[in-house]
Every structure is written in structure tokens, then in C-alpha cells.
Amino acid sequence: MPFGALFVSSEDLCQTPEFARTRLARHVVGQPGLVSVERPGSDEQIFDLGFPPWTVVTGRPSVADLYFSKRQRSGIYVLGFANGERYVGLTTDVVRRFAQHRRRHNDIRFITFQRVAQAKQATTERTFIRQLEAGGVPLRNRAEMSVITGEHDLDEVVAPSEQARWLERGPIELDASGRVEDADLRRRYRGQMIRLGNEPLGAAAVRVLSRYVPLALPAPRSTELSFWSLSCMPSGTRVKMLARLNLNMQEVLGLFEQDNVLVAALQLASSPFAEQYGSRWQSEVKALGFGLEDFQYKAAGHDQFRLYAEGEPDILRLLDLQVVNRAVRLLNLNLMRKGPSYWSRNHCFALADAVYGDASDKLATRGSGHSPRPPAGTADR
């Protein structure tokens, strides 16, 4: 038997896709019902990170007997599911965390665990998830992931085939069902829209949002509130924020005033830039006259960065670039597939009205009264 072979139940093995799609050297050994299985290629990447071989946990409500000492239960674990997916997590008590997973998932087949100091767990988990995702290991994780697969709530509103078509081609008409309405929420943030209307750069902010929303969101009217939300004049920031568009757990577009100039902070995927410009894509982006920052939110994983543009003309020029369009759609769709907007209770319907053109044209057509200046790079966040 080759070094590192695993011993798992033949019944468990037959329920995994690896049994069907991976060439496995197997033979009965010792006990009936046990087989020796070579590590599949994707799992080899897990073990290369320092994890021990899988332990079979099919049907177990607890793994307390596997991790007897409570002092040795803090670290990083990986779960193996019947469909071949894996899940990477951190915990201060792997026994308690496994029981929580078991209550939600009845298809857990394997577990592997390594001790990691609590202070290093978040960084280690992030590194492991990103390495395994980049290596093609199918992960059930959502946080830290750049690509989300499987079924999602968004599929009930925008069919997967339409999502794929939108991702490839850009804006398409999908909004036959109309908009959602919440009268209480509309009243709550009506005053914020009045404040924005009194801002010298308020109209410019609406015009930018009117350009961004159709190109950046699939079926924006149908997905409004549940999957994306607009904050109007949000407080608690170091700069004067005019508007913020949120998907899932993060901001993807922030519009703020700096030295009487409108500045846009745009979060988008980096992979389309690497595909178009190669390894020097960051230099190419800077040569276009835009500020660049290697800033990443946890929700969107490793495939993201931030671009800055100053002044309405340059912001609109940025949004007209095809590579930017592709990068925006890729990041935003993955975030929407992760789940609903966490900031829906801050949604400003009046601002969305103006973006759609459903409100008075007064705000959207008023000039800002300020001349744009060349981009000055990264803004103070």
C-alpha cells in the first residue's frame, strides 16, 4: 500500500464523486467493508497544507472522542461532504463547531483538523481558502470566496441562464416583474434624499449612479432591496459620503466629496484586468489616470481591488471601459449569488427613484457648479 493511503468505509466512498471520477487504487484490507484509497488530487492540496488524513464521521452527532482534550480543540478544520465539496473553517472548539455543522448538514462524511493559535486563525483560514480555491478544490465556503457555485436565492429572481448571459453580454432587460415597495422604509430615508438634493454634487452623484446601476446589476428593479441597496448621505465616515451601493456584506461603489470634487471608489474584480493586460495590469490601470488600491473585503474573496476616479467626467469615462464593465459584473454577480444585502434596512427608495428616472428631473439635471480635476490617486477613506 502506498504511503499516505486513507482508510474509509466503502459505503462512504461510493457516495462521493471521487469514487466515480478519480482513478482510485483500492483493495480490501483487514476488516470487511474497509478499502484503501489513494488521496484524490484535490484533497492532496488539503493535506499539503499540513492537515492529517481524513477521519470518517458519517452519521456521527459528535466528534468529542476524536478530540478528547479541550485544550487541543482550537484551530482550523476541513469538512468533506458527500458531493465532493469541502469546507474550511476556524474554531476555538472543533467538537462544538462540528455539532453545529451537523445540525445543518446531513451529508458530512469526513473531517480533518490541525491546531492553530487563535491569534493566527483568521489569517491562516483566509490563506487556506484562497489557496484551495485557486487550486480548483470545490469549496462550500462563501466568505473569502471569489467564485460561488451551486444553487442560490438569486436563482429564484434571475434564472442562472440569464445570469450567465448578463455576465457575458452586459445589460439586458430582465425587469418584467417591477419593483418592490416598502412604505415605512421610504419614509425613513426621505429626509436623506432631501439633504442630497441640497448638496452641490448631489446631481452629479445621481448621474453616476444612473450610469452604474444598469451596467453593474442584473435586473436591478427586480433585485432591489433584497440583493442590493443604496445608502443616501450615510454618516459615520471620515469623508462626506453622498451615496453608497451595497451588495451582500460590502460596499461596491462609494461616492463622496473631497475638496469640492466628486470622488468614486469602485470595488471590482482584478482577474479581467490580468487577462487583458497581463502581469503588468496595475501599471496599465494607473496609466489610464485612475487611482488604484489593493483593498479587499472579506465577502468577495481574493479577486478584487479598488479603483478611484475624481470628477464626474473621469468617473463616467471609467465606467465606459469594457474591461471595467466585465470586472464590475464579475464581482457583483458573485456577491449577489452569496446572498442578500445585509444593508437593506438602510435602502433609500427616493434615491433609487432618481437613479431610475422615476422621480423629478430637477436633481438629476442640475449642474454641479464645479470643474473636474485630474485624478489624484487614492482618496482618504
pLDDT at 313 (0 to 100): 97
**CA–CA separation, 287 and 321 (whole Å):** 14
Rounded Cα distance between 167 and 329, Å, is 6
Q: Please give the distance of CA 250 from its chain centroid, rounded to a whole number.
A: 8
What are the boundaries of each domain within the chain? 6-134, 160-365
State mean pLDDT over 96-118.
94
67 vs 35, residue with greater confidence: 67
Chain-centroid distance of CA 192 in Å reads 28
Nearest to 62 by CA among 73, 47, 53: 73
Q: What angle do CA 219, 298, 122 make, to 5 degrees?
A: 155
**Paired sense of beta strands 228-232 and 55-56, if any:** unpaired
> Quick one: which of 366, 336, 47, 379 has its CA closest to 218?
336
Specify whether the backbone of 336 is left (phi greater than 0), alpha (psi in -120 to 50) or beta: alpha
The answer to whether the pTM exceeds 0.85 is no
Spatial contact of 34 and 100, defined as CB atoms under 8 Å apart: no
Q: How does pLDDT run across 270-298, given as a tens digit for each residue?
A: 999 999 999 999 999 999 999 999 877 76
Question: In degrees rounded to 5, what are phi and psi of residue 100?
Answer: -65, -45
Predicted confidence (pLDDT) at residue 264 exceeds the cutoff of 50: yes
**For residue 210, is pLDDT > 70?**
yes
Using the predicted structure, report yes or no on whether residue 164 has a pLDDT greater than 50: yes
Q: Whole-angstrom Cα distance, residue 301 to residue 303?
A: 6
- 271 close to 279: Cβ distance less than 8 angstroms: no
Share of the chain above pLDDT 70, in %: 78
Q: What is the mean pLDDT of residues 9-21?
A: 40
- β-partners of residue 266 are 253, 307
- For residues 257-279, average pLDDT: 94
**33 within 8 A of 11, measured Cβ to Cβ:** yes
211 residue type, one letter: R
Strand (E) positions, the chain? 6-9, 34-37, 55-56, 75-81, 86-91, 108-115, 228-232, 240-247, 250-258, 261-268, 291-293, 305-310
300-322 tens-digit pLDDT: 577 889 999 999 999 999 999 99
What values do phi and psi take at 342, rounded to 5? -75, -10
**Beta pairing partners, 115:** 75
Distance CA 302, CA 147 (A): 10
